[in-house]
Chain A
Amino acid sequence: MIIFQWEAEQSTNDGDFNQMKARFWGVRGSIPTPGPETVKYGGNTTCIEVRLNDGRIIIIGAGSGIRALGNQLVVQDMKKGPLNVNLFISHTHWDHIMGFPFFTPIFIPGNKIKVHGPVNIGDESLEKIFALQMSYNYFPLRADELAADISYEILKEGSFQLFDDVQITTKILNHPIIDLGYKIEADGAVLVTIYDHEPFRNLFDSNPEDEDYDEVAKLEGEKAAQENNERVMQFMKSADLLIHDAQYTNKEYLSSKIGWGHSPIEYALYSCVKAGVKRLVLFHHEPTRTDSEFDIIQRALERRITRISNHHMEVFFAREGLEIDL
């Protein structure tokens, strides 16, 4: 059974941590969209705060949502001393790094911030890419003027121990740049992020009547797409909470968004059912999506989903301020 819990249960855990928890500070894709039509779900681009049971801080995404998170960290956490933050970047498209220059902890001496993220095709360092948006033409301060101790780590596909009791696994996804999904295993729970991601598809599909029809390429393309989708499926398999790209409806996707690197909501839903995910958060919302459109989509999904009866999964739309215990 699929339970649409559109208003996800708010965490009751206030400051006294027993388990990992996730809080959403930005849920929007592509560009911030403040305004009266995005009040309920929020207009900031992606940022997820992950708290371990002892208060250690992991942040996924440095979209515009990281600004408010940074301010809270300064006011609350820094009472106890300097911060030690691990920031994971899915990829370096602007909506996922734009908040970094406004993340107040980077200006405060003593704070330690480690930025983890994927390589790019030019082998440019993450440091250089981050510094670029803080160069003279774009920002009044340069990256080397930041007072915090900031370091950068390029990640490849695989697993590593972030701490003795925290394992991170990464998976390269399908997006118009090298993009990583993250799996965090800690406190006996598994949190997975899969955004910005579009299902792999056969780019060499064609009809035998086509002039450039190539059967070998078609078969090989089919196999490659299937195998890579299966790898993503395996990656999400053990998730207690999966945060999945759901930028479009299937109709929007098929009409004009194929190849843009984002998933239809229906795909996120069905693949998570198939992978046996326990809770699914639909994330990275289309910037033009208004609060009222979410209601329409919700009703349409509820009608369609009644066909799936043999799996218990909770599903809800991510919104700013939502906090979930794992």
Chain B
Amino acid sequence: METKYLVRLNRYIDSMPSLSITVSKILEVTKNPQVTAKDLNKVISLDPVLVGKVLKLVNSAYYGLSNKVTSLVTAIIMLGINTIKNLALSTAVLGNMRKGSSFKTLNVDGFWRHSIGVGATSKLIATKIGIPAIRREEFFIGGLLHDIGKIPLNVIFEEEYLRAIQQADMHKTELIEMEKELIGITHCEVGKLIGEKWRLTDETYECILYHHDPNMASEKNFRLVSSVYIANIYCNLNEVGFSGNRYTKKIEDYLLSSVGVTEEYLDEIFESISAEIEKASVFLQVSGQK
């Protein structure tokens, strides 16, 4: 990849706006002087960019923490309501300043539904496989942020990304292959840049980087990354949202068994995932958008 494109990608990542879909709710919530931590947590947790930026701030070198913060609840308590509120607002406003530029090729509503869907599915898998409640948010965040690298790609390489989606569709292949071929960098690699800049935890970082190849994940995070991998394929196959990847491979049996879920279980939770997305949509008042 040419340096000038990397520079543009990096510059975009530095001022990445929140998803336009959450902006009106953020504006509404932040306008309320009595806003609660719960309100903020609810709206932030529905936006992968905002989640990333909150964790970025609390895990920045400015906070001399020996362990990285992985949870939004802890981050909100440490940063305080006002700082979180202003961070959310400034991230939302970044989008307004460049109206229409945050999503050029991908459909923002489809992307958002896919991200929430993968987050919700991963969390349900975590519950099923007996992950303690306090760690399940990691599964949600890993799923929510797994495709974050697509945001800068579809803005900086607008035309190429459209071609990549079309070619993937035409050749019935995965989008990531076309990203490699037509752009020279994949959304996982762009996600890696974001993960490094935002100082995301190893857990989230590996979900972003390895959600197409969980065997690359560290032993510690293998089940987490594999859960996000399964959730991603599951949401693509069942058309839970759309993030440009129409054709995907079947989930390997050995991965299902190493994680500890069955296809039957995944079929059972479909309704819960749809309900979760609809609930979030209603909360954001975006249910009319398709």
Q: Are A175 and B73 in contact (CB under 8 A)?
A: no
Q: Which B residues are in CB contact (< 8 Å) with A201?
A: 77
How many chain-B residues does the 8 Å CB contact rule pick out? 28
Closest to A158 in B: B64
Q: Is the interface of B mostly helix, strand, loop or mixed?
A: helix
Q: In this complex, what residue of B is CB-closest to A171?
A: B64
Q: Which residues of A contact B90 (CB under 8 A)?
A: 121-122
**B residues 45-83 in Cβ contact with A at 8 Å:** 57, 60-65, 71, 73-74, 76-78, 80-83
Closest to A201 in B: B77
Q: How large is the interface on A (under 10, 10 to 19, 20 to 34, 35 or more residues)?
A: 20 to 34
Question: Which B residues are CB-close (under 8 A) to A224?
Answer: 71, 73-74, 77-78
On whether the beta carbons of A200 and B63 are closer than 8 Å, the reply is no
Q: A205-232, CB under 8 A of B: which get 1 and which 0? A: 0100000101111011101110010000
Interface centre among A156, A158, A201, A221 (most CB of B within 10 A): A221
Q: Which residues of B contact A178 (CB under 8 A)?
A: 62, 83
Q: Which residues of A lie under 8 Å from residue B1 when comparing CB positions?
A: none
Set B61, B134, B136: member contacting A219, Cβ < 8 A: B134
A178-206 interface mask toward B, CB cutoff 8 Å, 1 = contact, 0 = none?
A: 10000000000000000000001111101
In the complex, chain B residues whose CB is within 8 Å of the CB of A241: none
Any B CB within 8 A of the CB of A59 = no
CA distance A200 to B79 in the complex (A): 10
A214–B76 CA distance with the chains assembled, in angstroms: 15
Cβ contacts under 8 Å, B266 to chain A: none
**Alpha-carbon separation in the docked complex, A219 to B64 (Å):** 23
Q: Evaluate whether A204 and B64 lie within 8 angstroms (CB atoms) in the complex, with A121-B83, A176-B82, A220-B73 already known.
A: no
Residue of A nearest to B87 (CB): A121
Query: Which single residue of chain A is at the shortest CB-CB distance from B132?
Result: A216
Nearest Cβ in chain A — how far from B76, in angstroms? 6
Alpha-carbon distance A216/B138, docked complex (angstroms): 13
Chain A nearest CB, measured from B126 CB (Å): 12
- Which residue of chain B lies nearest to A180 when distances are taken between CB atoms in the complex? B62
29 pairs of residues in contact across A and B, judged by CB atoms under 8 Å:
A119-B62, A121-B83, A121-B87, A121-B90, A157-B65, A158-B64, A172-B78, A174-B80, A176-B81, A176-B83, A200-B77, A200-B78, A202-B77, A203-B38, A204-B38, A204-B73, A204-B77, A206-B38, A215-B133, A216-B134, A217-B38, A219-B134, A221-B37, A221-B74, A224-B73, A224-B78, A225-B77, A228-B77, A228-B78
Q: Which residues of A contact B (CB under 8 A)?
A: 118-119, 121-122, 156-158, 172, 174-178, 200-204, 206, 212, 214-217, 219-221, 223-225, 228, 259, 261
Residues of chain B having any CB pair with chain A under 8 Å: 36-38, 41, 57, 60-65, 71, 73-74, 76-78, 80-83, 86-87, 90, 133-134, 136-137
